[in-house]
Amino acid sequence: MSDSSRTVDDLRTFIKPLAGVDSQQRVKFYDSWAETYEQDHKTMSYRAPHEMVEFLLDNFSGRPEQVQVLDVACGSGLVAKLMVELGFKHFVGVDGSQGMLDQAAKTGLYKELKLALLGTEPLPAQTGMFDVVMIVGALRDGFVPVSVIRELCLAAKPGGYIYMSRNGLKSESGNKYKVCMEKELQLMEEEELWSHVITKEMDKYMIDVFNHREDVQNEKYISGTMYLYRKSLN
Ligand SMILES: C[S@@+](CC[C@H](N)C(=O)[O-])C[C@H]1O[C@@H](n2cnc3c(N)ncnc32)[C@H](O)[C@@H]1O
């Protein structure tokens, strides 16, 4: 069986070693996953990038062709590929996995691609440079830590927008991450670093490949949440 013909059940087994690993081991895992990442995510009905780009379409009024986009945890470039269809042209990508960055490079969409293990290394982005900062599929326990959210805001231009998605996987560490993240979002608003624009729930982030119970429908979906903040002008 070739990797690209994995089923949802195969993927459940495949990603099991990811449980409880640190972010360094996790990005190594993504290195080995990079070549079949998109095909496997299609199999898992990974909807987060599509949902995020629809969210962007509903909540962005600038001229896309002039916008500088920072795609954080860009992976293979799924988000940029969808944004290009809306007229966005200028992308810088950051990821902790060289394998994923190599896939992103093949899209030919990114002006620059930078390797950084976020949370351990600083976000390699110029302060106040980007009109739009995106992070899809990486704000969760064991991936990009909550502390990086301030760096996302720092990278945005005054008045720039920060689009973030979080998966709603129900677990003790997932719930802890949610509480910690929402506390940080609120704190940053109190510090007048940014203002909240809108939050939207999504029912279908992706098929739940993390939990499997015979008595529950096989293709049960994980929900998710998208957040939009606008950086303060001063
Ligand atoms: C589920 S993929 C999402 C990729 C892309 N945004 C998408 O929606 O297809 C998660 C990505 O986050 C990256 N990642 C996870 N933890 C990271 C960290 N601490 N620093 C940098 N990248 C990280 C992985 O290498 C992987 O490419």
Mean pLDDT, the chain cut into blocks of 10 residues (234 residues total):
74 87 91 96 95 96 96 98 98 98 98 98 97 97 95 98 92 91 98 98 90 61 95 92
pLDDT digits (tens, 9 = 90+) for 141-197: 889 999 999 999 999 999 999 999 999 888 888 899 999 999 999 999 999 999 999
Distances (CA, A) of 34 to 45, 92, 148, 216: 17, 19, 23, 30
Cα(75) to ligand 1 centroid in Å equals 5
pTM: 0.95
Pocket test for ligand 1, best of 47, 50, 100 (most atoms within 8 A of CB): 100
Measured in degrees and rounded to the nearest 5, phi and psi for residue 61 equal: -120, 5
**Beta carbons within 8 Å of 44's beta carbon, 6+ residues apart:** 8, 11, 206, 207, 209
How many Å apart are CA 34 and CA 27, to the nearest integer? 10
How many Å apart are CA 72 and CA 234, to the nearest integer? 24
Give the architecture (CATH level 2) of 3-231.
Answer: 3-Layer(aba) Sandwich (3.40)
How many Å apart are CA 197 and CA 79, to the nearest integer? 21
Instruction: List all residues whose CB is within 6 A of at least one atom of ligand 1.
Output: 23, 26-27, 30, 48-49, 73-75, 78-79, 95-97, 100, 117-119, 136-138, 143-144
Domain boundaries, the chain: 3-231
